[in-house]
C-alpha cells in the first residue's frame, strides 16, 4: 500500500457535484493498493498513520498525532499512486490492484483506521471520479509505502 498524507486545515470530496465527505483539521490520506498488499499492510499502515506525529505541540514542534489533537481523517482511493513512468510518456497502472483485491483492502483500511482513531473517518467512493478539495497546512506532505517499512 502506498499513501500520500497531507496535513490539512480542512478537506472535502465531491462526486458528481455532491459533497460526500468533509473534514476540519486533520489528515487527507490518498491510498493506492497493489496486488501484493495484504491485511498485514492494512494493520501496519493504519497504526502508523494514526500515531504519526505531524501536528504542532504548544512549542510549535511537530510532536502530536491526529489522535492527540482529536483531528479528523479523510481517506480517498487513488490507484494512480502506483503509476509506472519508466517507459514512454503514458503511465502504466499494471501494479495497481484490481477491484476484487483492492476494494476489500480499502474497506478494511477504513475500518481499521476508524477503530484506532476512535471515530468515523470521511471517505471517497472507490473507483468514482472525485473532486478533492483541501487546504494543506504547513505544507506538510508525507509519503509512506508499506513495501519500505
The predicted-structure confidence for 99-138, as pLDDT tens digits, reads as follows 999 999 999 999 999 999 999 999 999 999 999 999 999 9
Catalytic residue among 78, 112, 113, 123: 78
Per-residue pLDDT, 149: 85
Three cell numbers written together for 65:
498525532
Range of the domain at 113: 2-148
Number of domains in the chain: 1
What is this structure's pTM? 0.95
Hey, is 126 helix, strand or coil?
Answer: coil
- 80 assigned to active site: yes
CATH code (residue 126): 3.50.80.10
Residue 14 to residues 6, 63, 72, Cα–Cα distance (Å) = 18, 32, 17
- 79 assigned to active site: yes
Amino acid at each position: 500500500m502506498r499513501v500520500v498524507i497531507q496535513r490539512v486545515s480542512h478537506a472535502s470530496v465531491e462526486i458528481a457535484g455532491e459533497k460526500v465527505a468533509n473534514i476540519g483539521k486533520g489528515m487527507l490520506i490518498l491510498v493506492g493498493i497493489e496486488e501484493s498488499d495484504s491485511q498485514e499492510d492494512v494493520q501496519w499502515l493504519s497504526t502508523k498513520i494514526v500515531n504519526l506525529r505531524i501536528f504542532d505541540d504548544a512549542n510549535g514542534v511537530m510532536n502530536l498525532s491526529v489522535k492527540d489533537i482529536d483531528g479528523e481523517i479523510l481517506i480517498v482511493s487513488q490507484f494512480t499512486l502506483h503509476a509506472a513512468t519508466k517507459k514512454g510518456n503514458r503511465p502504466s497502472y499494471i501494479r495497481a490492484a484490481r477491484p476484487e483485491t483492492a476494494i476489500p483492502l480499502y474497506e478494511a483500511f477504513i475500518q481499521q483506521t476508524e477503530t484506532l482513531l476512535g471515530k468515523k473517518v470521511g471517505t471517497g467512493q472507490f473507483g468514482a471520479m472525485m473532486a478533492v478539495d483541501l487546504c494543506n497546512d504547513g505544507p506538510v506532505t508525507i509519503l509512506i509505502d508499506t513495501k519500505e517499512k
